[in-house]
Structures are given as C-alpha cells and as structure tokens.
Amino acid sequence: MIPYDSFSFFLWLLIPILPAIVLGLSQASPRTRSLWIMHVSVGMLYLILRPLTYFTQAVVYFVFEYALVRTYLYYRQSERHRNKAYVFYLAVVLSLLPLLLVKFVPLLGLNHYVQSLLGSPATTALAGHAQQHAQAAHSVRGFSPSLPASSAPSGYQSFPEVQSLPAVVRSLPAVHTLPGTHVVSVAQGLSGPQALSGFPALSGSHAFSSSQALSGPSASAGAHAFSGSHVPSSSPSFPAATPSNQGQMKPIWDSLLGFLGISYVTFRIVGTVIEIRDGLIKEVNLGDFISFVLFFPTLASGPIDRYRRFLSDLRKTLTRQEYTGYMVEGLEYIFRGFLYKFIIAYLINRYALAPLTHAHAFWPTVKYMYAYSAYLFFDFAGYSVFAIGVSRFFGIKSPENFKAPFWAKNIKDFWQRWHISLSMWFRDYIYMRFVLTSAKKKWLTNRYMASAAGYLLLFLLMGIWHGTEWHYIIYGLYMAILMIGFEFLERANKKKHFWGQSKAWDMLARICTLQLTCFGLLIFSGHLF
Amino acid sequence: MHNQTTTEPNAEANNQAKIRSVILSALTDICGTAEVADNLQLDLFAHGLLDSFGLVELMLTIHEQLGLEIAPTEVERETWSTPEKIIGYLEGKAR
C-alpha cells in the first residue's frame, strides 16, 4: 500500500493515530509515546510493504544495518582503536550495500539469481499478479492502460524520480492493476515486473527502461506514481487516472529485490554512521533505531530526518497544550496535502500534463516543462506535508521539505527550498565533508576548484540516486554546472557589481532562476530523452 | 582542543581572546566585510554573508589556527548564526 495514496491508507492511519492522540492528550511520558511509535512503525511497515516477501526483506535489511551501526559504534567507543579512515569508509560502503544491490542487480541481469535465492514466495506473488494481467498486458502493451492508475509522475519518492516513477508505477502497478502493461516484465523474468511496461506510459522512449526498473529509488516514485492520479503518460484517450484502480491493492515495488522506501531509509542510516564517526552519536539502542529508521509516516519518501534531531523529539516531554498545538499544525499540513496532491496535482496532471505526454515538438515540450514542474512540486510537496502532518500526531517535527521553490532568487536558493531534507543531506554529508577533507589533505590547491568538485560529486550522486538512467545523470550534471556557474558569477559580482539590488533585479533573478530550474526538471522527467 | 587543559584564569582569558580574534578576522575575510567584527549579533546566514562554502573555510581556519575540530553536522545553523554565537560555542568547546 502506498502511503498517502489512497483513501484506504487514510483509514488505516487512524489505527496508529487515534491512540497516539490519546497518549498525547493524556500527557503520556516520552517513553510511552516512543514505545507506541516503535510498535506502530513495525505494524505499518507490514501494511505498507505487503506481501510478506518485501516485509521480510525490510526486516533482514534492518537487522543488517542495525548490526553494522552497533559494530561501528562499538569500534568508535572502544579505547583500543583509533578512528581509522578505512574502517569508516568500509562502514559507509557496507551500509550502502543493500541499496547498491537493489539498484545494480537488475542492471547486471542477475535477477533470476535473486529470484532463486529469494525463493518462491516473492516470485509467485509477483508472477501470480503478472499472470492475471498478462493477457491484458499483451493486448495493451503499447499504450499502457495501466497508467491510469498511477502514472503520476510523482515522485515523491525520489520524487525526482518522478520519472522513474512511471517505471515503477507501471511495473508494479501494472502487475496488479494495470492490465497488461506489466506483463512484459513477467516475461523478462522477475525484473519484468518492473518498469518496462510502465514506461510506455510515459513515453515510448522508456520502453527500454525495463531494465531500469531496478532503480530502486524510482520505486518510490513509482509508488507515487501509482497513486494513481496522474498518469502523465496516459494518453489523452485514456482518461487519466481511473478511479477504478484506486483501492485495489497495488504492488508498490517494481523489483523482487528491495522494498519501498529503501533509498530514503538508507540516507538516515548513512547519516547516522557518519555522525558516529564524528563522535556526535555515542549511543544507539534498538528501540530508538527502529523508531527512527522505520518511522512509518516518512518511510516511503522522506522527509529525511536526522538521528539526533529525531531523538530529541522522541525524548521530549509534551504538555497537553503543546501536543494540541502539534495536532492543529498536523491537521493543517494534512489538509494542505489534500489540496496539493489530490486536487492541484491531479488537475495539472489530468488537464495539462497527460495530453502532452507524447508531444515532443518544441512548444508542446515547453508547455510540458512547466506543467511537469508544477505537477512535480504539488505532488511531492503534497506527499511531504502529509508525512510531516502525520508525524506531528506522534510528537515528531519532521523537517520541512519545500519552501516555495519557484520563488527562488538563484539556483543555490532553489536548493534550499526544493526537497530540502535531501539537498541538506547532500550538502552536509557530501559537499561540506568533501571540501573540508580536500582542503585539509590538500587534494586541490584552489579552494574554488574544491568547491566545484564538491558540487559535481554532490549532484552526480544525487542524479544516480534517483535512478541509473542517463537523464538522471545528465540532470545531475546540469544542476552541478548551474551551481558552479552561479558561484563564479556571485564572486565576480562581489568585485564588479554588475547585478543590481533593487526589486526589479530581484524579480529578474527569480524569473531567470525559474526557467533554469524548470528546464532541469524537464531533463529529470525523462521527456527529452 | 588539548592545549586548554590548564585551569589558570589567565590562560583561559588568553585563550578566549585568541578565539575571538581568530574568528573575527576569519569572518571578515570570508564574508568580505568588516561589519561582522562591528556587529556581533549580525545574522550571517540571513544576510547571505555565510554559506556552506564559507562555513567550510571557517571550519578550516578553526582547525588550523585553534586546533579545534568541528564536524559539518555538529552545529545547527541556527545555533551558529552570529559571530557572538560562534565564539561562544568555541569557547565552550575549548574549555
């Protein structure tokens, strides 16, 4: 079940939330509240990830990561060991390993090994679906009826992934919902479930994506996509999302390996490992780690929280007034989510985006660019405020993810307003660390060069995280070039002052930034190539 | 970080003076304005005087001249937003 995607999910939400409200209003101790959070996170994990094979993988993943974190923590706390760099890098690589497997196994064509390793349950589950739809699929193949359901570009997940979404969407969805689309994948072997079929929806170009399905991250997107409302891809003739899909159980994840949210969860864990290295985190216990990593409101697509920040909320004693304030804020967020995701994003997709899915001429592409950017924002920001709003009911102030991104004055400003929890993660854990280390070790003599290399590293990693398809990588390069170019202009402007200070100049800066960022999102959408 | 173990009041005062002068001169360089040394309550991030890159340069200076290690995620920007807060944090850490 994709979180915040269907009416039934909101009904299920009442099960964890109503007791949380009782606990909050009765001023239960932080310990009691955190016990509830831990238990419902596990329960909701099962609900979100069904069938069992995905839940099992999530559990195995969690146990692996927890063991890794505890081992590394033990190493760091032990008097006998020094803080060796290679141990740290080893810990980071190991914590990334499951995600890397999920992303690259399908690329390498190893899916059938995975299938035999995982055993039949998963396979059968998927295969069963696949079969049901297969017939349909065949017939449909080509256009992806399935779209209806999902196709939303959404990407909350990675949202960036938007594009991947489609794939995902399709893939899974296809499996379940869509009639035929997915079938294809079946044929391909597990991987099949994936995206391939899905893509069609988006655009023909994707067809090959099937292999791409792998990209786990996209999955999330996919998740999104499923949401159903938007299939951007759906051709005009197909009414966009068909309500009929909704409510059906849709597969959330397009690949046998991995599970919905793994890319987001991995960020939380890697951040924790890095802070253990820095000596900022000195203690990790199982209960807190379950609550933090698997916190269900933000499981699927963030916002990406940080361990110490999350823990301070978890330990906080809330008075009844404070908790009531949280509830009111939470409700406001949730209503904003309905407006953004189910009304605005839905309408944009249905009336602006979907008709343009197959239009690749110049002007339709320009229209697609703006429609897609707006859609992506409302869909993903809508998801994010749902996640933030629901977190509030548990006394957790999940970080903000969007702050009027299209009002940014420059590209740097844009990244402080767009998918903030992700870009701040990359800024703090990749860019700053890289620049600091390269200066200390004198890798690059010029600090501006170090900064440029840091941006390149940051955005390429961000691109690949969204998916292993080329357009994500090009998107990363494009954003890196914009950032490096902006830093250069900013420095030049300090000396020569060619850019004015008045409101008109600000407005001009905003308009230019908007065009550049929308073009970046167009690359991201995969519509161009 | 290890050279401050002495508890003599004089040594501590010297130390604080050193932190203050190092930070103010570094900030003046990084932000490109003397205003930071005049107004210790100035919000460096809100005024666009300090960004991630500037912060990294500041951390480098702290590492090189004061021998203190600050991890990039150690301090929230809100708690490090003015020259006064930065100096206060470092004094606490050096102690």
- In a 10 Å sphere around its CB, with 0-12 CB exposed, 13-18 middle and 19+ buried, how is residue A495 labelled? exposed
How many other CB atoms sit within 10 Å of the CB of residue A232?
Answer: 35
- What is the C-alpha separation between A349 and A434, in angstroms, rounded? 39
DSSP assignment of A298-321: GTTT-----HHHHHHHHT----HH
Cβ partners under 8 Å of residue A97, min gap 6 = none
Of A306, A433, A447, the CB nearest to B57: A447
Cβ partners under 8 Å of residue A283, min gap 6 = A73
Which pLDDT does position A265 carry in this prediction?
A: 95
How many other CB atoms sit within 10 Å of the CB of residue A294?
Answer: 23
- What is the C-alpha separation between A99 and A134, in angstroms, rounded? 29
The encoded tokens of residue A267 equal 């960020």
Give the closest residue to A504 by CA, choosing from A493, A512, A496.
A512
Q: To which H or E segment does residue A171 belong?
A: none
Which pLDDT does position A379 carry in this prediction?
A: 96
Instruction: Measure in Å the smallest separation between the Cα of B10 and chain A Cα atoms.
Output: 30
A496 CB neighbours in chain B (<8 A) are none
Say yes or no for a CB contact (<8 Å) between B56 and A278: no
Cα separation values, A393 from A8, A380, A438, Å: 19, 21, 43
Across chain A, which distance is largest between two alpha carbons, in Å? 69
- In a 10 Å sphere around its CB, with 0-12 CB exposed, 13-18 middle and 19+ buried, how is residue A280 labelled? middle
Say yes or no for a CB contact (<8 Å) between B59 and A451: no
How many other CB atoms sit within 10 Å of the CB of residue A108?
Answer: 11
- Pick from B45, B52, B58 the residue to mutate for testing the A interface (most A CBs within 10 Å): B52
How many other CB atoms sit within 10 Å of the CB of residue A35?
Answer: 15
Instruction: Measure in Å the smallest separation between the Cα of A106 and chain B Cα atoms.
Output: 35
Of A435, A439, A494, the CB nearest to B32: A494
Cα separation values, A55 from A34, A156, A186, A261, Å: 22, 21, 22, 12
Instruction: Measure in Å the smallest separation between the Cα of A93 and chain B Cα atoms.
Output: 20
Residue holding tokens 């991630």? B52
Say yes or no for a CB contact (<8 Å) between A429 and B57: no
How far is residue A51 CA from its own chain's centroid?
21
**Cβ atoms of residues A133 and A175 within 8 Å:** yes
Instruction: Please list the alpha-helical segments (H only) found in A245-348.
Output: 262-277, 286-294, 307-314, 320-337, 346-347
For residues B33 and A280, the model is more confident at: A280
**Three-class SS of A449-487:** HHHHHHHHHHHHHHHHHHCCCHHHHHHHHHHHHHHHHHH
Say yes or no for a CB contact (<8 Å) between A447 and B73: no
Cβ partners under 8 Å of residue A430, min gap 6 = A454, A457, A458, A461
Q: Does B73 touch chain A (CB under 8 A)?
A: yes
pLDDT tens-place values along chain A, 529 residues long: 899 998 999 999 999 999 999 999 999 999 999 999 999 999 999 999 988 989 999 999 999 999 999 999 999 999 887 889 999 999 999 999 999 998 888 777 777 777 777 665 444 444 444 433 333 333 333 333 333 333 444 444 433 333 334 433 333 333 333 333 332 333 333 333 333 333 333 333 333 333 333 333 333 333 333 332 222 333 333 333 333 333 334 445 667 788 999 999 999 999 999 999 999 999 999 999 999 999 999 999 989 999 999 999 999 999 999 999 999 999 999 999 999 999 999 999 999 999 999 989 999 999 999 999 999 999 999 999 999 999 999 999 999 999 999 999 999 999 999 999 999 999 999 999 999 999 988 888 888 999 999 999 999 999 999 988 999 999 999 999 999 999 999 889 888 888 888 999 999 999 999 999 999 999 999 999 8
**Cβ atoms of residues A513 and A413 within 8 Å:** yes
Residue holding tokens 């963030």? A302
In degrees, to the nearest 5, what angle opens at C-alpha A30 toward C-alphas A28 and A32? Answer: 60
Of A271, A431, A440, the CB nearest to B52: A431
Instruction: Measure in Å the smallest separation between the Cα of A278 and chain B Cα atoms.
Output: 6
B31 CB neighbours in chain A (<8 A) are none
B5, pLDDT greater than 80: no
Amino acid at position A99, single letter: L
Of B52, B60, B71, the CB nearest to A280: B71
The encoded tokens of residue A461 equal 């990693």
Q: What crossing angle do the helices spanning A52-77 and A262-277 adopt, rounded to 10°?
A: 10
**Cβ atoms of residues A172 and A260 within 8 Å:** no
**Cβ atoms of residues B69 and B25 within 8 Å:** no
**Cβ atoms of residues A421 and A302 within 8 Å:** yes
Give the closest residue to A91 by CA, choosing from A265, A261, A274.
A274
Say yes or no for a CB contact (<8 Å) between B53 and A436: no
The helix, strand and coil proportions of chain B, stated in percent and rounded to the nearest 5, come to: 60, 0, 40
Which pLDDT does position A429 carry in this prediction?
A: 95
Amino acid at position A461, single letter: L
**Cβ atoms of residues A300 and A220 within 8 Å:** yes
Say yes or no for a CB contact (<8 Å) between B72 and A429: yes
Say yes or no for a CB contact (<8 Å) between B72 and A433: yes
B63 CB neighbours in chain A (<8 A) are 440
Cβ partners under 8 Å of residue A343, min gap 6 = none
Say yes or no for a CB contact (<8 Å) between B60 and A436: yes
Q: Give the residue numbers of A annotated as catalytic, written as ranges.
A: 466
Closest residue of B to A448, CA-based? B53
Say yes or no for a CB contact (<8 Å) between B53 and A440: no
Q: To which H or E segment does residue A256 belong?
A: none
- What is the C-alpha separation between A181 and A175, in angstroms, rounded? 7
DSSP assignment of A45-106: HHHHH-SHHHHHHHHHHHHHHHHHHHHHHHHHH-TT----HHHHHHHHHHHHHHHHHHHHHH
Mean pLDDT of B26-47: 89
Under DSSP, is residue A497 helix (H, G, I), strand (E, B) or coil?
Answer: coil
Closest residue of A to B59, CA-based? A436
Amino acid at position A463, single letter: G
Instruction: Measure in Å the smallest separation between the Cα of B17 and chain A Cα atoms.
Output: 25
Of B32, B60, B73, the CB nearest to A439: B60
Do the interacting molecules here have an ipTM over 0.90?
A: no
Count of pairs with CB atoms under 8 A, one residue in A, one in B: 40
**Cβ atoms of residues A124 and A313 within 8 Å:** no
Across chain B, which distance is largest between two alpha carbons, in Å? 39
Q: List the 13-52 stretch of B: residues with Cβ below 8 A of A.
A: 32, 51-52
**Three-class SS of A368-388:** HHHHHHHHHHHHHHHHHHHHH
Residue holding tokens 């970046």? A520
Which pLDDT does position A115 carry in this prediction?
A: 72
In chain B the domains, ranked by start, together with CATH numbers, are: 9-94 (1.10.1200.10)
**Cβ atoms of residues A299 and A2 within 8 Å:** no
Every domain of chain A and the residues it spans: 1-319, 405-525
Which pLDDT does position B15 carry in this prediction?
A: 83
A427 CB neighbours in chain B (<8 A) are 52
